[in-house]
Chains A and B, each alone.
Chain A
Amino acid sequence: QQQVKQSPQSLIVQKGGISIINCAYENTAFDYFPWYQQFPGKGPALLIAIRPDVSEKKEGRFTISFNKSAKQFSLHIMDSQPGDSATYFCAASWGYNQGGKLIFGQGTELSVKP
């Protein structure tokens, strides 16, 4: 019940296309859902996050869609660019503001072809 399942494991998208990464969870107590982006040779960095009281959050070309009833959330990257090529991790936590731990998905390696 503590798992976060992420798919696909790898993704190849043409420049200008839409990249979509999906995550599913079981624990309905989760109340914070961030996405982290990791470039080669670097540590992961927070990209965007959402709380379950909203169904969508957009920051520039990056959008999180959240479906509470299906216990799924996804990252959409619009107009994908070669500079977006990285590994993306979804995560979930309960009681995050009270020190809750993040549980990460398995990661998706995104490659955007020019």
Chain B
Amino acid sequence: EPEVTQTPSHQVTQMGQEVILRCVPISNHLYFYWYRQILGQKVEFLVSFYNNEISEKSEIFDDQFSVERPDGSNFTLKIRSTKLEDSAMYFCASGRLAESNTGELFFGEGSRLTVL
């Protein structure tokens, strides 16, 4: 069964460093998302991406964050200068635009980011 894959599974970085989290969405999906979950807390929406541009973003997704779909298969989240509070599990998700437009998402297993 097709699945969303994410790398790395765990990354430890120093505060102020740049981090790139990678995702390979399901191949026939058109909508791509990043969410994050701080340990023990709710899953928070960061950004959605469609047709090579950001379609929605939350207030969390500030200038430190960027997304890119560089080659038609990968979908990346970059954090330019990490802060301690960026420590979280980052989930990539993809969705298929069906006629019913159900919004059902398929999630990857997550990338755990630890900022020291």
- Whether chain B is bound by chain A comes out as no
Which A positions have Cβ atoms within 8 angstroms of B?
none
